[in-house]
Amino acid sequence: MAEEQPQISNNPVTLHKTIVLVGMMGAGKTAVGRTLAAQIGVDFLDSDHEIEEAANMSIAEIFERDGEPFFRQKETQVIERLLEGTPCILSTGGGAFLAERNREMITEKGVSIWLNADLEVLWERVRHKDTRPLLRTADPKATLAGIYEKRVPIYSLADLSVVSGGGASLDEMGRKVQRALLDQRPDVLEQKS
């Protein structure tokens, strides 16, 4: 379900299309998404959370029981449903943007923003978490590096890119995303007079 967020922005804005945050695990999609939603006064949705709620099990359990292809199919169905709703902030799983169908839906009904974090930042953020099924390997850092190398060219297809990391606070990251949209996509996020 959508999480209600108070509007805390000093500069009121209107959201015309769903903002879809894409990028690697650990890039900050959920944390930045929640902050951004609160700043502009819209709902925050997380496709992974929605999948877990519908399946009544964790992503890791779905991967283990049904495999990644099944999960990716369900992920596409959930993203399609979420894009049909009121414009909001939507955080997606790290692999969601890899599917051409998902990219097409996002381009048609929303705007994609790649939270671009370098490999060392990502490793620092994910290395102590055991909730990442793709990193359950003998050498998780090497696995992360391999995933990163394969995915970055696809993430670069996103409508906009915002650097994630560098010590920026969540509030600063939310404002960076807003600024990128206001500057480059006023059809998506419009400053109220």
Quick: pLDDT tens for 14-40: 999 999 999 998 899 999 999 999 999
Domain spans in the chain, listed from the N-terminal domain onward: 13-191
- To the question of whether residue 67 is assigned a binding role by annotation, the answer is no
- To the question of whether residue 151 is assigned a binding role by annotation, the answer is yes
Quick: pLDDT tens for 71-128: 999 999 999 999 999 999 999 999 999 999 999 999 999 999 999 999 888 888 777 6
Of the given ranges (11-20, 50-59, 119-128, 164-173), which has the lowest mean pLDDT?
119-128
**Per-residue confidence band for 4, with pLDDT thresholds at 50, 70 and 90:** very low
Given this structure, which CATH class describes domain 13-191? alpha beta
Q: Is the pLDDT of residue 135 over 70?
A: no
- To the question of whether residue 27 is assigned a binding role by annotation, the answer is yes
Residue 11: per-residue pLDDT: 61
Give the position of tokens 């560098």: 166
- To the question of whether residue 99 is assigned a binding role by annotation, the answer is no
Residue 133: per-residue pLDDT: 55
